[in-house]
């Protein structure tokens, strides 16, 4: 079912709920345990909170809204560090031939490992958060780091990457141009590329990154269990190249099989490569062109990760494409909670799923999507706030100054 209202487009896919071999192979529980065991050793590690918004859920007619708040993840205000750090762990483990039982964080950062590895430069392209996570992890391990960003990347995001000792190079064009350039330059300079997107012949590292996100999923399930909830009924995940969405969807399908929650992708309308791949519906990942202009910097990607798409196409129940003001709406709702609901600091990419959920539940014309997804008073909805205030200037412009306002005809309280 493909549908569009003036400010939102969506595609619903009917999937037979079944055991998916691809999800079990990529996201086995043993790997999730390994990732979490590693992350627990990092100084400063603690579980990020899973918070409930019961008042907001009651207002919008669902049983519960649960937010995994990655704004408090280590010192980086983003979930991305989980994937990047685990990928470096796996890279060094693979390079030196060290089994899991002998591998630990203390040994990883030791002079012995540094001597055995020699001089290594890790490199990646980023819209901001992934690059900062790689720079942070490389600094902890005592290795050089080069990060490529596209020309529209904000100064605040660039400065945040540089603060961890990385060399930052600004590339003309989009995020996808930065990825293409670092592949060329990485080969010429002998850099080790740690990318969260995949392409032909480059799949192992992106797989490690996606598996690193499993730590967050294990935390979520532990936290839900503490609330007497076996699993969410719905999970909304924002997507750029699709690595996080594939991790979340793949983990739940590996863990729950036929009882996996309904999985919904949310993308900016000017960078909706997964949405367009689903619309073409030939089983392949497709690139979208243009300047990828969106306030959701972390989602401004035109080319899906192939390995992520191979998981998503079999697990996503719906794809939703939204304008920027839906993300700004989500930011403002998080920042001005109803009485007794918690206050959440969320950046543009982090808040778009809340904005999309509220739009689906309240806006005229969205009734068919609500019904198709079976969103009602029994639904327990999981959202992931993927980033905190990673761009302070834009954050203030949206929260303080009201930039990217919702057009009046789409205000919830007009009636």
Which pLDDT score is estimated for 406? 94
Which pLDDT score is estimated for 74? 87
Annotation: CATH topology of 80-202: Rossmann fold (3.40.50)
Which pLDDT score is estimated for 72? 86
Between the alpha carbon of residue 278 and those of residues 2, 13, 275, 286, the distances in Å are: 10, 9, 5, 9
Q: Where are the domains of the chain?
A: 2-78+213-410, 80-202
Q: How many CB atoms lie within 10 A of CB 365?
A: 14
Check: CB of residue 292 under 8 Å from CB of residue 271. Answer: yes
Which pLDDT score is estimated for 415? 47
Query: Nearest to residue 391, comparing CAs of 316, 331, 341?
Result: 331
Distance CA 221, CA 217 (A): 6
Distance CA 14, CA 61 (A): 24
- Give catalytic residues, as residue numbers: 80, 127
Please state the φ and ψ torsions of residue 134, each to the nearest 5 degrees.
-65, -45
- Rounded to a whole number of angstroms, the CA Rg of the chain reads 20
Q: Give the CATH class of 2-78+213-410.
A: alpha beta
Tokens of 13: 């896919």
- Same fold for the domain at 2-78+213-410 and the one at 80-202? yes
Per-10-residue mean pLDDT, the chain, length 415: 77 74 89 95 94 98 98 88 94 91 86 91 90 92 94 90 96 93 96 93 95 97 97 97 97 94 98 97 94 93 95 97 97 97 97 98 93 97 95 95 94 67
Distance CA 285, CA 300 (A): 16
Distance CA 303, CA 42 (A): 32
Strands, E, within 239-388: which ranges?
262-268, 318-322, 380-385
Check: CB of residue 89 under 8 Å from CB of residue 38. Answer: yes
């Amino acid at each position: 079912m493909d549908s569009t209202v003036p400010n939102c487009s969506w595609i619903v896919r009917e999937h037979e709920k079944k055991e998916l071999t691809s999800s079990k192979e990529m996201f086995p529980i043993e790997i999730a345990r390994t990732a979490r065991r590693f992350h627990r050793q990092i100084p400063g590690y603690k579980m990020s909170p899973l918070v409930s918004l019961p008042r907001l859920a009651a207002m919008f007619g669902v049983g519960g809204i649960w937010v995994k708040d990655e704004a408090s993840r280590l010192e980086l205000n983003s979930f991305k560090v989980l994937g990047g750090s685990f990928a470096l762990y796996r890279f060094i483990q693979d390079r030196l031939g060290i089994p899991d039982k002998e591998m630990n964080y203390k040994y990883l950062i030791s002079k012995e490992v540094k001597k055995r590895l020699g001089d290594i430069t890790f490199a990646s392209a980023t819209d901001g958060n992934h690059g900062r996570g790689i720079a942070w992890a490389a600094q902890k391990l005592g290795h050089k780091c080069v990060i490529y960003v596209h020309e529209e990347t904000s100064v605040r995001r660039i400065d945040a990457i540089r603060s961890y000792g990385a060399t930052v190079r600004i590339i003309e064009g989009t995020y996808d141009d930065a990825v293409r350039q670092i592949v060329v330059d990485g080969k010429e300079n002998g850099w080790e590329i740690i990318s969260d997107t995949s392409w032909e012949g480059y799949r192992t590292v992106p797989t490690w990154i996606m598996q690193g996100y499993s730590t967050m999923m294990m935390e979520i399930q532990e936290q839900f269990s503490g609330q007497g909830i076996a699993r969410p009924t719905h999970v909304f995940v924002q997507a750029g190249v699709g690595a996080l969405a594939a991790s979340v969807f793949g983990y739940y399908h590996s863990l729950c099989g036929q009882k996996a929650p309904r999985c919904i992708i949310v993308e900016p309308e000017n960078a909706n490569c997964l949405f367009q791949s689903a619309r073409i519906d030939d089983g392949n990942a497709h690139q979208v062109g243009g300047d990828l202009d969106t306030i959701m910097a972390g989602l401004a990607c035109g080319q899906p990760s192939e390995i992520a798409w191979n998981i998503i196409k079999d697990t996503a129940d719906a794809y939703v494409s939204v304008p920027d003001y839906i993300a700004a709406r989500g930011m403002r709702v998080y920042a001005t909670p109803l009485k007794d609901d918690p206050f959440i600091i969320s950046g543009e990419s982090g808040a778009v799923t809340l904005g999309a959920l509220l739009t689906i539940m309240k806006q005229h014309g969205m009734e068919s999507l609500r019904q198709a997804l079976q969103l009602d008073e029994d639904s327990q909805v999981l959202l992931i706030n993927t980033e905190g205030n990673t761009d302070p200037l834009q954050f203030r412009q949206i929260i303080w100054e009201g930039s990217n306002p919702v057009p009046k005809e789409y205000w919830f309280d007009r009636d």
